[in-house]
Amino acid sequence: MLDVDLKKFPTATGVYLMKGAQGAVLYVGKAKQLRNRLRSYFSTAGDGRAHIRFLMNRVEAIETIVTDTEKEALILENTLIKKYRPRYNINLRDDKTYVSLRIDLREEFPTLQLVRRVKKDGARYFGPYSSSTAVRETLKLIYRIFPLRHHPIAICRRRDRPCLYHQIEQCSAPCHGLISQSDYRALVDGAVTLLAGREKEVVTLLQQRMSAAAEQFNYEQAARRRDQIQAIEQTVEPQKVAEAGAGDQDIVGLHREGGEVELALLFVREGKVIGRRSYSLEWRLAEDELLSSFLQEFYSREVFIPDRLLLPFAIEDSETLAEWLSEQKGKKVQLLVPQRGGGRQLVEMARRNAEESFREKGSRREARQQVLSDIATRLQLRRPPQRIECFDVSNVQGRFSVASMVVLSDGEPDKDAYRHFRIRTVEGSDDYASLYEVLKRRLTRGIEEDILPDFILIDGGKGQLAVLIAVLNELALNDRIDAVGMAKSRVQSNVRGKVVERSEERFFLSGRKNPVILRQGSPALFMLERLRDEAHRFAITHHRKLRRKSTLHSALEDIPGVGAQRRKALLRHFGSLKKVKQATQQQLEEMPGLPKNLAERIFATLHQEGPAE
């Protein structure tokens, strides 16, 4: 353990960084009194966190940064964690993806958008929702009742007639002037009211409109209102009503068992529970520090910040956190610890959700460990692999060569650890040389950061495996990391050449001539196939992105006077690169903000490139 003179450290408020070999940041923390906090790491009793034992054995230096206030320390800690991504800080991994609905009421004709990030852009957000499928079903209902526009209005206005959604009565076609702005605003108000959970107000309004239409003998219109009311009543599910005040609030529940902690977040919007998220943490943090770190990490993302957070217990820096969250939201945010009543019942419900989530994940975790043990036995690994990495190389005729690395941690995808690699030293389509470069770079850095896999799976056969073995031997890692090559199944004809058959997946091991065949349909084979396919998907996605960028560059960026902003304006105005190429010189000249001489230059250059694709 590092031998330090604690008297040299300041007693002020600030942030401390614990560094390992080559100056890599292992842990970032904040403290109201830095010297006292650091003393706890070196005390005889030791820090309360089990993982600190492993951390302190790797620490070679400690750096402190003094701040004027606790809030500055909190913000700086957050910034440094995002910058260095320290191994021993909290790393939240969601149990499922989530989406929100966005509407900007400042637009002339607002519309609903499905987004995955909540930004401070003045728009209104609803959610988060755990199921994107359920949200899309909700949107279908809203469009039937309140036919808002679906597409960007500038693009729709360039069409000769309204889109298909207008023909099926799910868009009121403001782009072609078929509805006034005031009538459209009434539709927007209805959609917002419904999404806000005040469906009774919407039903009352629709009942009034139905009665008015019936009185005017407009029975067709009255029937549509009746159908809309029935759709709302059948679709809106009964939800638990939160009695602890109106408005938006998030409720935190915590379940601890041994060295593992499960945290659950319940989302209450307009007095109703709309969703849940849960997180598993395996570190033995002191509970108040754990909860504080969790809240900082979660709400520093682009997520919706509610008016109130209901916590299971008080935390030391609650006032600082509340001040920071209020600045993030732009209005006051409260951190409350309810002791009785509806608020306490909600916190207890969140705790039960955390306990149930822990139980569910526990059974899944045991099943994954069994699969990993089976993989270790069948592929002759030294131990069940806790971290598996799989690599794949992608290129088209030697161009845009990239590689991907995907990771399984304890049998689950660890998407934060995925990496893309641009091939730097290899020209042409030499997959072996490209793979050698990527593996060498990855494992060299892994040695420096002390983050290495237990098992590497290579997408390929004996040749690719030989490259991996050579790199492991070169870096003296062959006794530490297991290596296997996974060759794709082959489609072939049978002996008579008539019936097509598919061969089994083959796994090549070092020092073994014949491949290992895993039983078809086995969980072990399924896990490894998914990992291989994910590596391929991740590489192909990045490869296509590079090709798209290259296409845009060759077509527009080489034209003098067309920079990034002008290129975006052209694509926004015409809709696509293909339509920019198809545009006549007159259409280019008519584009707002585009000088005539530049329009002539763009037209001439694009038509030298050849016809539109």
User: What is the rounded CA–CA span in Å between residue 181 and residue 335?
Assistant: 41
Percentage, residues of the chain above pLDDT 90: 21
**Does residue 495 register a pLDDT over 60?**
no
> Kind and range of the H or E element at 579?
helix 577-582
**Residue 613's pLDDT band (cuts 50, 70, 90):** very low
**Residue 276's pLDDT band (cuts 50, 70, 90):** confident
> For residues 317 and 286, is the Cβ–Cβ distance under 8 A?
no
Reduced 3-state DSSP string for 404-471:
EEEEEECCEECHHHCEEEECCCCCCCCHHHHHHHHHHHHHHHHHHHCCCCCEEEEECCHHHHHHHHHH
**Does residue 510 register a pLDDT over 60?**
yes
Average pLDDT in the 90-113 region? Answer: 80
Amino acid sitting at position 399:
R
3-class SS of residue 580:
helix
Tell the residue number behind the tokens 């069409």, with chain if given: 159
> For residues 368 and 411, is the Cβ–Cβ distance under 8 A?
yes
**Residue 492's pLDDT band (cuts 50, 70, 90):** low
Q: Which long-range contacts (CB under 8 A, 24 or more apart) does 424-428 make?
A: 426/401, 427/398, 428/398
> For residues 612 and 578, is the Cβ–Cβ distance under 8 A?
yes
Pairing of strands 308-310, 334-336: parallel
Q: What is the DSSP letter of 79?
A: H
- pLDDT recorded at residue 45: 53
User: What is the rounded CA–CA span in Å between residue 417 and residue 410?
Assistant: 13
**Residue 566's pLDDT band (cuts 50, 70, 90):** confident
Beginning with the edge strand found earlier in the chain, give each strand of the sheet holding 308-310 in spatial order: 272-281, 260-269, 249-257, 308-310, 334-336
Amino acid sitting at position 329:
K
In degrees and rounded to multiples of 5, residue 573 shows phi and psi of: -70, -45
Contacts of residue 11, defined as CB under 8 A and 6 or more positions apart, other chains included, come to: 33, 34, 35, 36
**Does residue 235 register a pLDDT over 80?**
no
| β partners of residue 501 | 492
**Does residue 439 register a pLDDT over 80?**
yes
Look at the pTM and tell me if it is higher than 0.95.
no
Average pLDDT in the 375-398 region? Answer: 86
Beginning with the edge strand found earlier in the chain, give each strand of the sheet holding 99-103 in spatial order: 113-115, 99-103, 124-129
Average pLDDT in the 3-18 region? Answer: 87
The residue among 546, 536, 538, 539 whose CA lies nearest residue 399 is 546
Contacts of residue 93, defined as CB under 8 A and 6 or more positions apart, other chains included, come to: 279, 280, 412, 414, 416
> Kind and range of the H or E element at 306?
none
- pLDDT recorded at residue 184: 92
User: What is the rounded CA–CA span in Å between residue 492 and residue 503?
Assistant: 7
- HSE-CB for 78 with a 13 A CA cutoff: 19
> For residues 403 and 418, is the Cβ–Cβ distance under 8 A?
no
More reliable by pLDDT, 397 or 156:
156
**Does residue 352 register a pLDDT over 80?**
yes
User: What is the rounded CA–CA span in Å between residue 308 and residue 280?
Assistant: 23
More reliable by pLDDT, 489 or 112:
112
Give whichever of 77-86, 134-143, 310-319, 421-430 has the largest mean pLDDT: 310-319
CB atoms under 10 Å from CB of 436, counted, come to 19
**Residue 95's pLDDT band (cuts 50, 70, 90):** very low
Q: Which of 97-111, 273-287, 315-329, 530-544 has the lowest mean pLDDT?
A: 273-287
Contacts of residue 612, defined as CB under 8 A and 6 or more positions apart, other chains included, come to: 578, 581, 582
**Does residue 445 register a pLDDT over 80?**
yes
Averaged confidence pLDDT in the chain: 82
Q: What is the DSSP letter of 516?
A: B
**Does residue 14 register a pLDDT over 80?**
yes
- pLDDT recorded at residue 612: 37
Average pLDDT in the 302-308 region? Answer: 87
The residue among 468, 417, 463 whose CA lies nearest residue 443 is 468
- pLDDT recorded at residue 471: 94
Q: Helix crossing, 287-299 with 318-329: angle to 10°?
A: 10
**Does residue 432 register a pLDDT over 50?**
yes
**Residue 496's pLDDT band (cuts 50, 70, 90):** low
User: What is the rounded CA–CA span in Å between residue 524 and residue 527?
Assistant: 5
**Does residue 300 register a pLDDT over 90?**
no
3-class SS of residue 597:
helix
Q: Which of 76-80, 197-201, 298-302, 608-612 has the lowest mean pLDDT?
A: 608-612
Chain centre distance of CA 609: 38
3-class SS of residue 148:
coil
Tell the residue number behind the tokens 């000249």, with chain if given: 589
What does each C-alpha distance from 433 to 386, 436, 446, 605 come to in angstroms?
A: 28, 5, 20, 38
Q: Which of 225-234, 288-297, 522-531 has the lowest mean pLDDT?
A: 225-234
Average pLDDT in the 169-181 region? Answer: 90
The residue among 493, 523, 520, 527 whose CA lies nearest residue 506 is 520
Contacts of residue 245, defined as CB under 8 A and 6 or more positions apart, other chains included, come to: 308, 343
Domains and CATH numbers, the chain: 6-84 (3.40.1440.10), 249-359 (3.30.420.10), 387-544 (3.30.420.340), 558-609 (1.10.150.20)
